C-alpha cells in the first residue's frame, strides 16, 4: 500500500518535471523515485545537510555555505563528506563573520546559488534529506527554487532529528527544555561528544551521528520504517 504522502510527492515530481528550462540536475532529481514511507530506514540512503546563512528568514537572508555527508546502511560514508562556500551576492555583517567565520573575500570566490542547487539536486537524488530543525534547510531550498525556477515546495522526503526526538519524548511524556533540543543538547543526551557549531559540514556530520544514535535507542532498529521517523 502506498501512503497518501508518497502519492502526493510522486504526483508533484511528475508535475514539476514537465516545466520548461529546468537544469539537467533538477530534471534527473525529479525523475528518480523518492524513498517510500514503508521503506526500512536501514535500506534508505540519507543526505545529511546543513546550511549556514546570514539569518533565519529565507525570503531576505542568504546561504553562505553548505555541508553534507551521506548515510547508507545506517553508516556514515566519510568519503562523501563535503563543504562549499556560497556567494550570496550581498555584503556580510560583522555578526555573520563572527558566527560563521566566513569572510567577504571567501564568499566572493564561492560558488553561485545556482551551482549550489545543482550540487544539492545531484546529492539528494533518490535519497531522503536529513536535517536538524528543518525550517532552515527546507525553507531556503524552497525559496531558492522559487527564485530560480518559479516554483516552491520541491518534492522531498525530509527527516528532522529535532522532530524525531520530539516524537520520542512525547511518547515518554517527558518535559524537555528548549536548550536540550538543540543539536549539541541532544548529542549530550545520547553521550555523543560536543562539537564546534557553525561549520556546515561538521554540523551535518553531527546531525547524522545524532540520527544514528536515535535509531539505535529505538526498539528493533533494523525494522524501523521511514514512516516512524517523519
Provide the pLDDT confidence category of residue 174 given band limits of 50, 70 and 90.
low
Q: How high is the mean pLDDT of the chain? A: 90
pLDDT band at 175 (very low <50, low <70, confident <90, very high): low
pLDDT of 178: 60
The answer to whether position 64 is within a domain reads: yes
| Residue 131 in domain | yes
Query: What pLDDT, on the 0 to 100 scale, is given for residue 173?
Result: 47
Q: Are 127 and 44 in contact (CB under 8 A)?
A: yes
Structural domain span for residue 11: 4-224
Looking at per-residue pLDDT, the higher value among 163 and 169 belongs to 163
Q: How many domains does the chain have?
A: 1
Maximal CA-CA distance, the chain: 53
The residues near 158 (Cβ < 8 Å, ≥ 6 apart) are 128, 129, 130, 131, 134, 137, 138, 230
Answer yes or no: is 55 within a domain.
yes
Residue 189 has pLDDT above 50, yes or no: yes
Q: Of 96 and 18, which is predicted with more confidence?
A: 18
Asked whether residue 118 carries a pLDDT value surpassing 70, the answer given is yes
- Look at residue 230 and tell me if it is in a domain: no
Asked if residue 148 is part of any domain, the answer here is yes
Q: What is the pLDDT of residue 172?
A: 59
Residue 28 host element (H or E) = helix 24-31
* Burial environment of residue 180 by CB neighbours within 10 A (0 to 12, 13 to 18, 19 or more): middle
Residue 43, in any domain of the structure? yes
pLDDT the model gives residue 1:
44
pLDDT confidence band for 177 (50 / 70 / 90) = low
Q: What is the CATH number of the domain that holds 129?
A: 3.30.420.10
Q: How confident is the model at residue 100 (pLDDT cuts 50, 70, 90)?
A: low
Interval 19-72: pLDDT, tens: 999 999 999 999 999 999 999 999 999 999 999 998 889 999 999 999 999 999
Q: Who contacts 91 (Cβ-Cβ below 8 Å, separation ≥6)?
A: 104
Confidence of residue 2 (pLDDT cuts 50, 70, 90): very low
Residue at 101 is within a domain? yes
Give the model's pLDDT for residue 29: 98
- In this predicted structure, the answer to whether residue 4 has a pLDDT above a threshold of 60 is yes
Which of residues 196 and 137 earns the better pLDDT score?
Answer: 137
What local confidence, expressed as pLDDT, does residue 25 receive? 97
Residue 49 covered by a domain: yes
Write down the pLDDT at residue 99: 62
Amino acid at each position: 500500500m502506498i501512503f497518501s504522502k508518497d502519492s502526493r510527492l510522486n504526483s508533484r515530481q511528475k508535475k514539476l518535471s514537465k516545466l520548461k528550462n529546468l537544469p539537467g540536475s533538477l530534471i534527473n532529481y525529479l525523475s528518480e523515485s523518492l524513498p517510500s514511507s514503508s521503506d526500512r530506514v536501514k535500506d534508505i540512503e540519507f543526505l545529511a545537510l546543513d546550511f549556514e546563512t546570514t539569518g533565519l528568514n529565507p525570503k531576505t537572508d542568504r546561504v553562505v555555505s553548505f555541508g553534507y555527508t551521506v548515510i547508507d546502511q545506517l553508516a556514515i560514508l566519510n568519503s562523501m563528506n563535503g563543504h562549499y562556500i556560497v556567494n550570496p551576492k550581498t555584503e556580510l555583517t560583522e555578526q555573520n563573520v563572527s558566527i560563521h567565520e566566513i569572510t567577504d573575500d571567501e564568499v566572493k570566490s564561492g560558488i553561485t546559488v545556482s551551482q549550489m542547487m545543482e550540487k544539492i539536486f545531484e546529492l539528494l537524488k533518490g535519497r531522503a534529506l536529513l536535517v536538524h530543525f528543518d525550517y532552515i534547510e527546507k525553507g531556503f531550498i524552497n525559496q531558492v527554487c522559487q527564485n530560480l525556477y518559479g516554483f516552491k515546495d520541491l518534492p522531498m522526503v525530509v527527516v528532522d532529528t529535532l522532530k524525531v526526538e520530539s516524537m520520542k519524548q512525547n511518547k515518554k511524556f517527558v518535559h524537555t527544555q528548549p536548550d536540550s533540543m538543540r543539536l549539541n543538547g541532544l548529542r549530550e543526551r545520547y553521550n555523543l561528544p560536543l562539537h564546534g557549531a557553525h561549520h556546515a559540514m561538521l554540523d551535518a556530520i553531527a546531525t547524522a551521528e545524532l540520527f544514528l544514535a536515535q535509531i539505535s535507542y529505538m526498539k528493533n532498529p533494523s525494522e524501523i520504517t521511514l514512516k516512524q521517523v517523519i
